[in-house]
Amino acid sequence: MNQKVYATPRGALMARVRQRNTVPELKVRRLLHAHGWRYQLHPNDLPGTPDIIFRPRRKAIFVHGCFWHAHEGCRLATVPKTRTDVWRKKFKDNRKRDSAKVQALADLGWSVLTVWQCETADEESLLEKLTSFLSLAPVREGKVSPNG
Ligand SMILES: [Zn+2]
């Protein structure tokens, strides 16, 4: 039994395909919509297929589950007691993939916000976070000035 085993074909598939329309993501979308923000979902033409984008503003949002994306220091980011090494590696890979996506988008001149599942519990602070992100002036491609 030294063979590397994926639980099921579906399990292997789920490992590749990021989950969409999760509860935290729907919360973020509902909140944005209620406050008049219009957005596009899961655009296939952008690296990493962000969950929510505001194309004219070049803003992208990822909504991450704290468990799957191993939110650092978060009580929801637990490591299962069995096959711990496998999980740790998986979480590490997920985090690496997440930061590669952010970098790829930044290279195209997009600003990226990551919203964590645990942050969606408090709607008021979530709205504040979203609003300040969306209100920032867009970053121009290849020209980042700290003073705007
Ligand atoms: Zn968290």
52-54 vs 59-64, strand pairing mode: antiparallel
Distance CA 76, CA 120 (A): 13
Calculate mean pLDDT across residues 38-63: 96
Q: What are the tens digits of pLDDT across the range 97-125? A: 999 999 999 999 999 999 999 999 999 99
40 CA → ligand 1 middle, Å? 25
What does the chain look like in DSSP terms, one character per residue? --S---S-HHHHHHHHSPP-S-HHHHHHHHHHHHTT---EES-TTSTT--SEEEGGGTEEEEEE-TTTTT-TT-TT----SSSHHHHHHHHHHHHHHHHHHHHHHHHTT-EEEEEEGGGGS-HHHHHHHHHHHHHSPPPBTTB--TT-
57 CA → ligand 1 middle, Å? 27
116 CA → ligand 1 middle, Å? 5
64 CA → ligand 1 middle, Å? 8
118 CA → ligand 1 middle, Å? 4
pTM above 0.85, yes or no: no
Q: What band does 19 get if pLDDT is binned at 50, 70 and 90?
A: confident
12 CA → ligand 1 middle, Å? 25
Q: What band does 142 get if pLDDT is binned at 50, 70 and 90?
A: very low
24 CA → ligand 1 middle, Å? 11
pLDDT exceeds cutoff 60 at 147: no
Neighbour tally for 115: CB within 10 Å = 21
pLDDT, residue 119, reads 98
pLDDT, residue 139, reads 56
Paired tokens of 132 = 């300040």
pLDDT exceeds cutoff 80 at 138: no
